[in-house]
Structure 1
Amino acid sequence: MSSAALLKQFMASRLLSPLDLQANAFAARATYRHLVRAINLSFRGDAVVYPAAIQQAREAFNKNRRLESGSVEASSAIEHAQGVAQILRENVVQGASTGNDKYKLRFTKYTQRMDNAKTKELKGTTKSFKEIKNAQF
């Protein structure tokens, strides 16, 4: 087989079908919507943090827009965005000052709550996002 034929066969194996491309685009859009909803949930009513978080999400997705659909980089970028959305939804709690150095925390139904024993067990540990994501509390 000639080198041109081998190159053509290799390129054909790397090409995604229109259905695959559509599915990847759908996954990216769904992830963006998921991230924006998590930002809305976590930072609702915060006039400073909310616009900055939305802007940062928009810039990150625009920066990664040129990644080849279906590539490892695109998949890892989508996974990273989904992880950020999960952390925002489950681990970020907004506090509002009620005066006299007191704050009222706004927990949501998605906020992860742990008992003190589990918190002490995790204190000072360094874990990757994948380990935290897969952990059962």
Structure 2
Amino acid sequence: MALAAYRHLLRSTKIAFQARAEARTNFRKLASLPPNDPAAAAAVKHAEQVAIILRQNVVQGKKLDGEEDRYSMLHPALD
């Protein structure tokens, strides 16, 4: 369960912005918690919620070649 949450969070942060190092740091801080610790369950839930928010609410723009101020909107989940 925690590993799946970690993978989802890393994929989402990679798509949205470069917060991967922060995600890793936070997971490593809590890696020694026993699986039945309430703090571990709360951290997993938080990671899944962040992954969902990033996947569903972040849109990136790509500058169009030869265009000074024109961008194409990209939705990371669709690419």
Tell me the TM-score range normalised by the shorter chain.
Answer: 0.7 to 0.9
Which segments of structure 1 move beyond 3 Å, counting only runs of 4 or more?
Answer: none
Deviation at 1:100, TM superposition (A): 2.3
Identical-residue share of aligned pairs (%): 38
Q: Which sections of structure 1, spanning at least 5 residues, go unmatched?
A: 1-26, 44-48, 111-137
Aligned length: 76
Matching residue of 2:37: 71
Q: Which sections of structure 2, spanning at least 5 residues, go unmatched?
A: none
Which one of 24, 29, 37 corresponds to residue 58 of structure 1? 24
SS of equivalent to 2:31 = helix
Matching residue of 1:87: 53
The letter of the residue matching 2:60 is Q
Matching residue of 1:35: 9
Q: Which is greater in Rg?
A: 1
Tell me, in whole angstroms, the C-alpha distance in 2 between the residues paired with 1:109 and 1:54.
17
Specify which structure has the higher proportion of helix. 1
Q: TM-score, normalised by structure 1?
A: 0.49
1:114-129 aligned at under 5 Å gives the runs none
Greater relative contact order structure (CA < 8 Å, 6+ sep): 2
Name the CA shift for 1:54/1:108 in 2 (closer, same or farther; >3 Å): closer
CA RMSD between the two structures: 1.8
Matching residue of 1:101: 69
Tell me, in whole angstroms, the C-alpha distance in 2 between the residues paired with 1:90 and 1:67.
29
Matching residue of 1:13: none
